[in-house]
Amino acid sequence: MGRGRRQRGQRRILSTHFANSLDAALAIDAAVAHSKPVVWVHSQSRHTHDSDDSDDDGDDDDHRPHHTRTRTAPRGLAVCQIERAGLRYIAPVDHDKLYETLKTYIGGPVTEGSLKVRPTLAHPVLGTATHRRLVCPTSQDHFDVVLALLHEMVAGGRPQLSQSSQLKELVVPPDSQFFKVALNAATAAGLNIPSQTTANALVASPLPWRRQGIRYTSNEIYFDLTETLSFTLDAAGKPLSCSIAGALSCRSRLSGMPDLALTFTDPAVLDESAAFHSCVRYGRWNKDKVVSFVPPDGSFPLLSFVHTPPSTTPALALALLPLSLSTSSVTLGPSGGSFRLALTSRAPPSRPLTRLELRLPLARGAHAVQATATGGALATDERGRSVGGGAGRWEVVEREGKGVEGSKGEERQVLVWKVDQLCSTDRPAVLEGQYYASPDARKPPFLTLTFDSPASGFSGLRINTLKVLNEQYSVYKGVKTRGRAEIEVRTG
């Protein structure tokens, strides 16, 4: 994905699949302002959903309603650019696959200390006259593991293999090294051991992403559909831009060589820009709109897409957004500003919106901020008596308004309003207040709102059927859909 810019006339030529319009603007502005081939763009922190990359040890409860896991990660883009024949090509990078792979192998944060020290591993070897306890060195570093991973992930300077489930078949994770030690001890003791390792089984397999001889006592497959809705609205609530970025991940625990056929209720959502895992037969999808594949063992990303609704009308915004936001009372006068923000949820009580966070930048020199939160969910005590509303809590934080690396940003204050959850039966959550500001201050141009939809998405994409061919066993299928919205509202 990228964007180009024509030098003559300063007209931008768009060719992009940015999931967020704000990220697209930041990437373009960073490239235009700097001549460096790589520029780092800072942005606000965001919550992203953890993907379970443990392959086989997942918890089935992950696919029960209203269960979600999130983490906070620094948000930013590494903008790479090159200019050829008067055209500038821009490619933003916001994900480091090597770092994610190292986290999977090390089993925690990737730091200098965790890369140098490998924990003590011990395992008893059975089958001899007495139990033997074999211990790996306590201070052996991970250099050999990192080097082996790089050999598998990069070939001739080009990316080759990045999927953790396949890498674990070829490069044994550090926490599994004791199995190799135990295997050597068993061989020395004359015990009967398999002649084919999992790595050899993967190489001998007719499919490069799935080894032969996989067996499970119960056959299960889980699908996680995660969607991110990005909306930009004007001050009157009219949509300016809208897009939905989705990803369907899979965790497979199936024996043998199952051949799967997956269908959707509305496959047209994927027609715009779907990207599939290499195991998917693209010809079958192009012809019948059926995702046909033999899955890798463990966790893997099955497909991703970016869907742009066909029109951006107020009626569409009302249909896609399970929430309405009133910002018409955000004003700024000679001595200060005032605001009245109202959140009204249309989500049913069975699927309430959660983790709502509104961020309102205050004018320069803001001080003496006063605000009151009312409404929201009716909170009750243990006797069922009303004890007040659930309109959340607010605070004022100071942040440095940096956009592009190296630019000088002035310190400003941001009002952060957080509401735990909100549904259609709750009263509207309202935050109103005022503050003093500098006489020459300008009204902040926008505010942002984010929230989670733990049990539903936005595109309408739903899994319809899953057929299993080439195997006779029955399969348990788990499906979970969750969404996150990132809304930018212009205030003037």
Within its chain, how far is the Cα of 95 from the centroid? 10
Residue 137: is its pLDDT beyond 50? no
Confidence of residue 97 (pLDDT cuts 50, 70, 90): confident
Residue 384 has pLDDT above 80, yes or no: no
Q: Write out the E strands in 184-238.
A: 220-233
Per-residue pLDDT for 436 more than 50?
A: yes
Domain boundary pick from 52, 67, 95: 95
Least-confidence region, from 51-65, 172-186, 191-205: 51-65
Nearest to 371 by CA among 398, 344, 337: 337
Q: Is the pLDDT score of 372 beyond 60?
A: yes
- Site of tokens 């700097």: 34
Whether residue 270 is found in the same domain as residue 336: no
Average pLDDT over residues 273-290: 91
Domain membership of residue 71 (yes or no) is: yes
> Across the chain, how many H-helices and E-strands are there?
9, 29
Q: Give the whole-angstrom CA distance, residue 279 versus residue 209.
A: 7
pLDDT in tens, 349-359: 999 999 999 99
Question: In terms of domains, do 50 and 116 share one?
Answer: no
> Residue 220 in contact with residue 253, Cβ under 8 Å?
yes
pLDDT tens digits, one per residue of 287-311: 999 999 999 988 889 999 998 887 6
Do 406 and 377 lie in a common domain?
Answer: yes
In this predicted structure, the answer to whether residue 386 has a pLDDT above a threshold of 70 is: no
For residue 198, being part of any structural domain is answered with no
> Do 174 and 265 sit in the same domain of this protein?
no
Query: What is the bridge-based pairing of β-strands 154-155 and 336-345?
Result: unpaired
Closest CA to 246 of 271, 270, 281, 277: 270
Of residues 31 and 459, more confidently modeled: 459
Percentage of residues in the chain having pLDDT higher than 70:
68
Co-location of 242 and 329 in the same domain: no
Residue 288 forms part of a structural domain: yes
Give the count of domains, the chain.
4
| Cα dist from 448 to 59, 324, 357, 358, 454, whole Å | 34, 13, 8, 6, 20
Q: Please indicate, yes or no, if residue 385 is contained in any of the structural domains.
A: yes
Q: What is the CATH number of the domain that holds 257?
A: 2.60.40.1170
* Percentage of the chain exceeding pLDDT 90: 28
- At 259 the three-state DSSP class reads strand
Asked if 51 and 250 count as a contact pair (C-beta separation under 8 A), the reply is no
What span, in angstroms and rounded, lies between the C-alpha atoms of 359 and 361?
A: 6
The owner of tokens 């990078």 is 93
Question: Rounded to an integer, what distance in angstroms lies between the CA atom of residue 300 and that of residue 55?
Answer: 8
**How many other CB atoms are found less than 10 A from the CB of residue 485?**
22
Residues across the chain: 492
Residue 212 burial by Cβ neighbours in a 10 Å radius (0-12, 13-18, 19+): middle
Q: What phi, psi does 267 have (nearest 5°)? A: -70, -10
Residues 80 and 107 in one domain: no
Residue 123's pLDDT band (boundaries 50, 70, 90)? very low
User: Bridge-partner residues for 122, per DSSP?
Assistant: 135
pLDDT at 460 over 70: yes
- Nearest partner of 96 among 88, 86, 104, judged by Cα: 104
CB atoms within 10 A of CB 243: 20
In a domain, 111, yes or no: yes
pLDDT at 11 over 70: no
Report yes or no on 263 lying in a domain.
yes
pTM for the model: 0.69
Burial of 50 (0-12, 13-18, 19+ CB in 10 A): exposed
Decide which of 149, 175, 193 is a domain's last residue.
193
| Higher per-residue pLDDT: 30 or 458 | 458
Question: Taking the CA atoms of the chain, what radius of gyration do you get in angstroms?
Answer: 27
Could you report the per-residue pLDDT of 444-458, keeping only the tens digit for each? 888 999 999 999 999
Taking Cα atoms as reference points, which of 463, 49, 403 lies closest to residue 228?
A: 49
Contact assessment for residue 449 and residue 358, using Cβ atoms and an 8 Å cutoff:
yes
Whole-angstrom Cα distance, residue 168 to residue 155? 18
Tell me the CA distances in angstroms from 85 to 47, 88, 297, one per residue in order: 40, 8, 46
Per-residue pLDDT averaged across 263-292, rounded? 91
Residues with Cβ within 8 Å of 60's Cβ and at least 6 positions away in sequence, in order, are 220, 222, 478
The answer as to whether 65 is a domain residue is yes
Pairing of strands 2-6, 291-293: unpaired
Identity of the amino acid at 389: G
Nearest to 20 by CA among 242, 237, 272: 242
pLDDT band (50, 70, 90) for residue 462: very high
Instruction: Write down which residue in 95, 114, 148 finishes a domain.
Output: 95
Instruction: Work out the pLDDT band at 385, boundaries 50, 70, 90.
Output: low
Chain centroid to Cα 90, Å, comes to 22
Specify the amino acid at residue 296: P
Q: What range does the domain containing 103 cover? A: 99-193
DSSP code per residue over 86-137: TEEEEEEE---HHHHHHHHHHTS---HHHHH-----EEEEPSSSS-EEEE--
Torsion of CA 477, 48, 145, 161, to 10 degrees: 60
Q: Do residue 438 and residue 476 come from a single domain?
A: no
Which DSSP symbol is given to 279?
T
Rounded Cα gap, residues 136 and 67, in angstroms = 38
Residue 203 lies in a domain: no
206 has pLDDT over 70: yes
Say which range, 55-69, 94-108, 226-240, has the weakest mean pLDDT: 55-69
Average pLDDT in the 341-364 region?
92
- Residue 404 per-residue DSSP state: B
In this structure, of 51-60, 429-438, 454-463, the range with the lowest mean pLDDT score is 51-60
The reply to whether 23 and 72 lie within a common domain is yes
84 and 106 both lie in a single domain = no
Q: Does residue 437 sit in the same domain as residue 467?
A: no
Non-local CB neighbours of 199 within 8 Å, separated by 6+ positions = 169, 170
Residues contacting residue 32 through CB under 8 Å, at least 6 positions apart:
5
- Distance from the first to the final alpha carbon of the chain: 31
Mean pLDDT of the chain: 75
The one-letter amino acid at 368: A
Residues 72 and 181 both lie in one domain: no
Residues 376 and 280 in one domain: no
pLDDT at 189: 62
Strand pairing category for 220-233 and 476-490: parallel
- The pLDDT value recorded for residue 344 is 92
